Amino acid sequence: MSDPTRHEITWGAILRLNFRFLMSALIFYWGWLAWQPISKEWWGFWLIGGLCLLYAPILFAGTAWTAFKLFRDQHRWRKYRALGVTPRADRIAADQEIAQKARLP
């Protein structure tokens, strides 16, 4: 399980995931544009396009895995918290109880 202090999904995490999904889509689109057959003189664009077309699904899969782990950890902590009771304050023992339990005179 993850750190219990980070069980809630923050806006920063949501924005980071959305930005990475957007970047993977843009890299894929740019790779597709660079892959278009222009001419053999521009073979460098094919190399860049191929690398982008390879990297975009890897970035997308990594981001999807991160999102899955985030939601899985949140679900685990919610289940774990549902098992226990809410914390409550302990009552303060009176002097008589202390003396009786400890058998002090």
- pLDDT, average across residues 44-53: 90
Residue 77 confidence class, pLDDT cut points 50, 70, 90: confident
- Separation CA 33–CA 50 (nearest Å): 10
Tell me how long the chain is: 105
What is the reported pTM? 0.67
The structure tokens 């918290």 sit at 81
**pLDDT value at position 6?**
57
**pLDDT value at position 75?**
85
DSSP string, 85-97: PPP-PPPPPPHHH
Q: Is the dihedral of CA 21, 23, 29, 34 positive or negative?
A: negative
Q: What is the pLDDT of residues 31-43, one digit of tens each?
A: 999 888 777 888 8
Residue 104 confidence class, pLDDT cut points 50, 70, 90: low
